[in-house]
Structure 1
Amino acid sequence: MKRSLTLPLVAALALTAVAGTAIGDGHSNKALEDAIKARKAQMTLVGYNTGLLGAMAKGETPYDAAAATAAASTLAAVAKLDRSILWLEGSVQGTVDGTRAKADIWTDAAGFEKAAAGLEAASADMVTAAGTDLASLQAQMKALGDSCGTCHKAYRGPKN
């Protein structure tokens, strides 16, 4: 009777080990895919709030200090999201679908961090400018746009 239970138990343990390895491999890829989705969401929020501010700066929508401050505050908060959980090593364009992240993000981590800190600073400055008046908002839009461009030129690959 002992012998008849041993074989199924060993088989079950072996199957569990194989399944665990397969799930572990899938989880690793899933983690990268989830990080890419999260940072795309971050960039969508950056674009949305920058668009609201830009529309006011261009006169496409009326300047509203409260709405501009809300957009700038959201932008500043989103810019400060923890990059260590969004930009996982291995989530490089050409390696994982759905990303335009260049390998330079990881090979030039200090440069990437500096570019990201530039967005944080420009966004923080926009909070004050946005609520002051239209001229201040307009003046800060260039710095905000430049901070986006600096990062995208160096660390974002071409569309596929």
Structure 2
Amino acid sequence: MPRKFLVPTVAALSVAVTTAAFSGGHGSPEEQVIGARNALMTLYGFNSGILGGMARGNVPYDAESAIAAAENLAAAASMDQMHFWVPGTDNVAMEGKTRALPAIWETPDDYAAKNQDLADAAAALVATAGDGVEAVGAGMGQVGAACSACHKAYRGPRI
């Protein structure tokens, strides 16, 4: 898909996921929120996978593709996530349906800061993704650190 279509596609997908979550999709309202949240994480993972594959040398570096994936990642990371983190959608309240720990709602400022770290790292990667595989690797190091910090603090097992 040409780069000029990728960011609008991510935006449209995000709107569609959010609309489905609040318009009577399948499952309870809590399950719909979790589904929307999982869709966002899938977008993160998909675009990070493209960039990480390039950084590791598993995928040939392509500047246009790297820029598009970085822009998509930044667009997803900068979305307002207010509707994705509804109280009562943690792994204790929704056994077996999510890995989100209750700590997200107990320490919202720390969670917000970690989320901002990801948005900042993704925005920085947009600026350098076209500068070569080494630049992608460095940027993905920052993105990975932001993801890891949040997952260590706020992602647990499905229980």
Same structural fold, with TM-score higher than 0.5 when normalized by the shorter chain = yes
Q: Which shows bigger deviation, 135-144 or 108-117? A: 135-144
Contact 2:121 2:142 in 1 (8 A): yes
For structure 2, list consecutive stretches of 5 or more residues without a partner in the other structure: 1-24
Alignment correspondent of 1:119: 118
Alignment correspondent of 1:71: 69
Q: Distance in 1 between matches of 2:93 and 2:30?
A: 10
Amino acid at match of 1:127: V
Return the match for 1:45 from 40, 43, 46. 43
Question: When the two structures are aligned, how many residues end up with a matched partner?
Answer: 134
Amino acid at match of 2:34: I
Identity of aligned residues (%): 41
Q: Distance in 1 between matches of 2:81 and 2:135?
A: 29
Alignment correspondent of 2:53: 55
Using the TM superposition, give the Cα deviation of residue 159 of structure 1 relative to its aligned residue in structure 2, in angstroms.
4.1
1:119-138, Cα deviation, whole Å (9 max, x unpaired): 10011011112112211111
Contact 2:91 2:158 in 1 (8 A): no
For structure 1, list consecutive stretches of 5 or more residues without a partner in the other structure: 1-26
1:25-60, Cα deviation, whole Å (9 max, x unpaired): xx9x82211110001000011011001000001111
TM-score, normalised via structure 2 length: 0.80
Runs of 4+ more than 2 Å apart: none
1:83-131, Cα deviation, whole Å (9 max, x unpaired): 2100101101021141111111011000000000011001101111211
Alignment correspondent of 2:107: 108
Higher-Rg member (1/2): 1
Contact 2:128 2:135 in 1 (8 A): yes
Amino acid at match of 1:103: P
Contact 2:63 2:129 in 1 (8 A): yes
Greater percentage in helix? 1
